[in-house]
């Protein structure tokens, strides 16, 4: 009985391997994501950006005029969301804190964290 089960297991494994149902690449590689572009365009009136690992995620966002973006600080360190032109600034946002800004005109708006100037992001506002 054991030898019959072994033989059956061997036949199944061999057929899976030869049919492509199993491969070393599949076992060693992380699951592949669907081939979809990153979600940076938002047609809704709200968009969320997380602050995590000393980075804005997503770093670059495209929204329509009238949209609001809410940044949430998920780091333990304080951060700011400060426009490069100085027209808006969140002040220091502590862990789990939020800041929301509404974009009423089209254009490209770049911003950074004054506490960690290497943290940068951009927002494209379209009509």
pLDDT digits (tens, 9 = 90+) for 82-103: 999 999 999 999 999 999 999 9
Q: Average pLDDT, stretch 108-119?
A: 98
- Rounded Cα–Cα distance for residues 103 and 68 (Å): 6
Per-residue pLDDT at 73: 98
Average pLDDT across the chain, whole number: 77
Q: Average pLDDT, stretch 51-78?
A: 97
pLDDT band at 44 (very low <50, low <70, confident <90, very high): low
Per-residue pLDDT at 125: 97
Eight-class DSSP state of 84: T
Per-residue pLDDT at 117: 97
pLDDT at position 107 over 70:
yes
Domains, in order of start, for the chain = 1-32 (no CATH), 42-126 (2.60.40.420)
Q: Average pLDDT, stretch 102-122?
A: 97
The token duo for 50 is 């997380």
| Pure H helices in 1-127 | 2-19, 24-28
Element at 112 (helix H, strand E): strand 107-112
- Rounded Cα–Cα distance for residues 71 and 94 (Å): 11
pLDDT at position 38 over 70:
no
Helix, strand, coil shares of the chain, percent, nearest 5, are 20, 35, 45
Strand 107-112 relative to strand 120-126, pairing: antiparallel
Per-residue pLDDT at 46: 87
């Amino acid at each position: 009985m054991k030898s019959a089960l072994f033989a059956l297991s061997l036949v199944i494994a061999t057929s899976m391997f030869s049919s492509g149902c199993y491969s070393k690449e599949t076992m060693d590689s992380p699951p592949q994501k669907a081939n979809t572009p990153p979600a940076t365009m938002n047609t809704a009136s709200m968009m969320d950006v997380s602050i995590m690992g000393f980075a804005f995620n997503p770093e670059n966002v495209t929204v329509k005029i009238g949209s609001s973006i809410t940044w949430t600080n998920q780091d333990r360190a304080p951060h700011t969301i400060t426009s490069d032109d100085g027209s808006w600034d969140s002040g220091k946002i502590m862990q789990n804190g939020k800041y929301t800004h509404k974009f009423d005109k089209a254009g490209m708006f770049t911003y950074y964290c004054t506490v960690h100037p290497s943290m940068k992001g951009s927002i494209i506002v379209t009509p």
